[in-house]
Structure 1
């Protein structure tokens, strides 16, 4: 017999293109985004985010990475200084408005283009 499970939520996957270089290169702005997005989607931060810059000596991979645990899962992001792109994943068991979240994120990073995918799990 196959059990039926309630679908809770899933993951919002965002690819942002042509972001403002000053914003994606700023640890303070990435921290500000993390706090604002958690407030917007009504998620509770679990501890402080980890925001570190990686890729030294490798032009293709230089940029900040972010991990923020939230009580319902996590937010992760990677920022490419070479291409001025941002790759953000918001995974949650708690329902949130993915359209508002995607538009807020595009505006915050001043991206010219946004590609979004929603995965239901």
Structure 2
């Protein structure tokens, strides 16, 4: 994976968005509200951002095993971290967007290790 940095000249990059789909996550972690709060706090620290308020966390989508799970939202002073959990297939879908640049590789490594997942697909967008 290549890291993106603000160029000295040329196109202006407002920020980066890291989009991850992580498969085969640890069921004990993805079903634990406290673990999800620890994740958002740890990720904020890891990417050297500042949390803005508390993590919003809610469990819903109960009509289907595919959609049932937590959604977590953590505002950061430069934008947001959003995590959607799909408990049935043991997947985590995470987005980190910030107008302050961050190390996408490190953020992805932290996220994969925290959730115990494998087979991650990701996209990095310059915005």
TM class by shorter chain equals: over 0.9
Q: What is the alpha-carbon distance in structure 2 between the residues aligned to residue 48 and residue 82 of structure 1?
A: 27
**TM-score, with length taken from structure 1:** 0.93
Tell me the residue number matched to 2:7. Answer: none
Q: What is the alpha-carbon distance in structure 2 between the residues aligned to residue 100 and residue 91 of structure 1?
A: 14
Deviation at 1:63, TM superposition (A): 0.2
CA deviation map 1:40-71 (0-9, x unaligned):
00111100010110012322210000111100
Q: Secondary structure at the match of 1:37?
A: helix
Q: What is the alpha-carbon distance in structure 1 between the residues aligned to residue 74 and residue 125 of structure 2?
A: 19
Give unmatched runs, 5+ long, in structure 1.
none
Structure 1 ranges of 4+ moved more than 3 A? none
Tell me the residue number matched to 2:101. Answer: 95
Give unmatched runs, 5+ long, in structure 2.
1-9
Deviation at 1:5, TM superposition (A): 5.5
The alignment covers a number of residue pairs equal to 118
Match 2:58 to one of 45, 48, 52: 52
Q: Secondary structure at the match of 1:75?
A: strand
Tell me the residue number matched to 1:117. Answer: 123
RMSD: 1.1
